[in-house]
Structure 1
Amino acid sequence: MNQPDVSFELFPPKRPDGVEALLGVAKDLAALDPAFISVTYGAGGSSRERTLGVTAAIAKEAPVAGHITCVGASCADVDAVLKEYWAAGVRRIVALRGDSLDGIGARYKPHAQGYAYANDLIAGAKKIADFDVSVGCYPETHPDARGLQDELDNLKRKIDAGADRAISQFFFEPEVFLRYRDAAADAGIDKPIVPGIMLQPNFKGLQKMARLCGAFVPLKVSSAYDGLDDDAKARDRVTVDLSTQICTRLANEGVDAFHFYTMNKSALATEVCRNLGISKDRRAA
């Protein structure tokens, strides 16, 4: 199996004193020679300053992508963030519609003076600078989508607006992703679709996240974590094993890139990458 490309997602620390620890995580991940490390952006830009600062700092260690959303901000405010990214040397963004300010599951309402949807945001970003743009997609369909065709139509709009690739929401069954990839190709979507792999060893947290985004949790997954609430090391092992199995199956079907939702922990991502034949400091090899 050839070494795949990898990328990683981090989220900005809630407290200023967490920045140093996060930069340490980013440095560990940078040794794996990722295509990029992305930094999430809170609803309505609630973590704007921390996101910008952390993103600019990580850019010194590895290629970095800053998240940007439509939620709760005018076009002028969003454009200002995009210009700050570019000025800081950030050439990649992850452009998302974002979730309602009333919480995930609440009805989304575009800002009156803002970019209404992700495709509008992408078009606006491309007018500001030649960003490399990643977008989201949902193999089990977005909670707001009326079905698979609606999901694919929306992805096509984002690709047509200038997106360079799509990164999927997490899932637990490789066939779910493979069917989606094939359906996207049939729909004329010719940009890469990168599977998103969740590295969340807290099963209760994982279940909650899955409910919110509509990801099905198979019995084999829940059974693997059963009885491990008080055994963090065992949960870590299960997370690594399950993630490795998903990635290996996908790699055997021609998937050559993976995006890891790291939960700001580098150890699990590093171990999964090692299982895939990716070692630290491979840049020097």
Structure 2
Amino acid sequence: MTAEPRASRFVRPRGDGEARRIRVSFEFFPPKTEEMEKTLWESITRLAPLEPNFVSVTYGAGGSTRERTHSTVKRILAETALAPAAHLTCVAATREEIDTVIRSYCGAGVRHIVALRGDPIGGIDERYAPHPGGYRNAADLVAGIKRLSEVEVSVSAYPEKHPDSPTVEADLDMLAAKVDAGAARAITQFFFENDLYFRYLDRVRARGIDVPVVPGILAVQNFKQTKAFAARCGASVPDWLAERFDGLDDDAATRKLIAAAVAAEQVLDLVDRGVTDFHFYTMNRADLVYAVCHLLGLRPSQAAGNGLGLLPLPGGERVGVRGVG
């Protein structure tokens, strides 16, 4: 008897009127150069036929990429059938300035904003201080967005708590405040130990927060960069992960194979435990993410490949997710 592939039982056939169970979204960042723009659009073109729930575009510290973010979002709206989610932060800007950005997004056709506090302009070593005339924090920003528009709002969540949160409870209080202000979904910081996610999910539910909490997945493109990035955002890097990439600094081909295996192992375990939605931090590179999505059972839509596809509407992220307790 031939064993059934591990992911196949988690994916429904895509017949008429029947939605897929596994759903994905992708995060990109606005390019700085023509070469980076070419890489970004090659990645978008590769991933678009998988019909993601949405694609998000990041917003630099202090609005440093405001124009590039807006330009990228507008091009996605104009040239693809994808649903873009524009990131927005409240760092170093007045309420009036941020409200102008919100109205500009809405005027361009954006129907989804990812609302974040954002990092200080001086970097994570600098203590965050709200602009005297600006939104105080992410919860305040969510309330401002909902006051001005009817767009869907997603927010961030931190399985290992935000680096600036004094306690786990304070971190959960902030997530609750963001949801109370109108957030419809939380997307987690990346993590590599799945038990961290499930313990966090148990705490979130015990706190009475019932919005979807979508795991953020980072396929490791470069281990040294990933380790440095994790240190900046308070995410732990387990010893076993370092061991898998040990000795591969000058072996890009093997690194790529190991990265795909690690990410696949992580998402298949999450699926085994009930997770059905995933948000991939692509780093503007498609190959690893595409491979993992393929293992999840996602296949390119022929209609989407021809530019004719309509994307599925947002829905629930999980069915019967189990924690570790």
TM-score, length basis structure 2: 0.85
Q: Secondary structure in 1 aligned to 2:294?
A: helix
- The alignment of Structure 1 onto Structure 2 pairs a total of residues equal to 285
1:236 aligns with 2:252: no
Match of 2:63 among 20, 45, 51: 45
C-alpha displacement of 1:16: 4.7
Rounded Cα–Cα distance in structure 2 between residues aligned with 1:193 and 1:226: 32
Rounded Cα–Cα distance in structure 2 between residues aligned with 1:176 and 1:229: 28
Residue 43 of structure 2 contacts residue 286 of structure 2 at CA under 8 Å; is this kept in 1?
yes
C-alpha displacement of 1:282: 6.8
Structure 2 match to 1:138: 158
Q: Secondary structure in 2 aligned to 1:166?
A: strand
5 Å-filtered alignment, 1:1-285, equals 1-2=10-11, 3-16=21-34, 18-59=36-77, 60-61=79-80, 62-281=82-301
Rounded Cα–Cα distance in structure 2 between residues aligned with 1:275 and 1:45: 36
Q: Structure 1 unaligned runs (5+)?
A: none
Q: Secondary structure in 1 aligned to 2:88?
A: strand
RMSD of aligned residue pairs (Cα, Å): 1.4
Query: Which piece of structure 1 moves more, 115-124 or 235-244?
Result: 235-244
Rounded Cα–Cα distance in structure 2 between residues aligned with 1:63 and 1:128: 20
C-alpha displacement of 1:47: 0.8
Change over 3 Å in CA distance of 1:138–1:282 after alignment to 2: farther
Q: Structure 2 unaligned runs (5+)?
A: 1-9, 12-20, 310-325
TM-score, length basis structure 1: 0.96
C-alpha displacement of 1:199: 2.0
Q: Secondary structure in 2 aligned to 1:168?
A: strand
Rounded Cα–Cα distance in structure 2 between residues aligned with 1:154 and 1:117: 9
Change over 3 Å in CA distance of 1:203–1:17 after alignment to 2: closer
Tell me the alpha carbon deviations over residues 27-47 of structure 1, each in whole angstroms, 9 at most, x when there is no partner: 222111001010000111111
Letter of the structure 2 residue corresponding to residue 171 of structure 1: F
4+ residue stretches of structure 1 with deviation over 3 A?
Answer: 282-285
C-alpha displacement of 1:135: 0.4
Rounded Cα–Cα distance in structure 2 between residues aligned with 1:128 and 1:17: 36
Letter of the structure 1 residue corresponding to residue 285 of structure 2: K
Rounded Cα–Cα distance in structure 2 between residues aligned with 1:95 and 1:173: 26
Rounded Cα–Cα distance in structure 1 between residues aligned with 2:186 and 2:59: 17
Letter of the structure 2 residue corresponding to residue 194 of structure 1: V
Q: Secondary structure in 1 aligned to 2:50?
A: coil
**Structure whose alpha-carbon radius of gyration is higher:** 2
Q: Secondary structure in 1 aligned to 2:41?
A: helix
Q: Secondary structure in 2 aligned to 1:8?
A: strand
Residue 27 of structure 2 contacts residue 281 of structure 2 at CA under 8 Å; is this kept in 1?
yes
Rounded Cα–Cα distance in structure 2 between residues aligned with 1:244 and 1:200: 11
Change over 3 Å in CA distance of 1:146–1:105 after alignment to 2: same
Letter of the structure 2 residue corresponding to residue 168 of structure 1: T
Query: Which piece of structure 1 moves more, 159-168 or 98-107?
Result: 98-107
C-alpha displacement of 1:15: 2.0
Rounded Cα–Cα distance in structure 1 between residues aligned with 2:261 and 2:88: 32
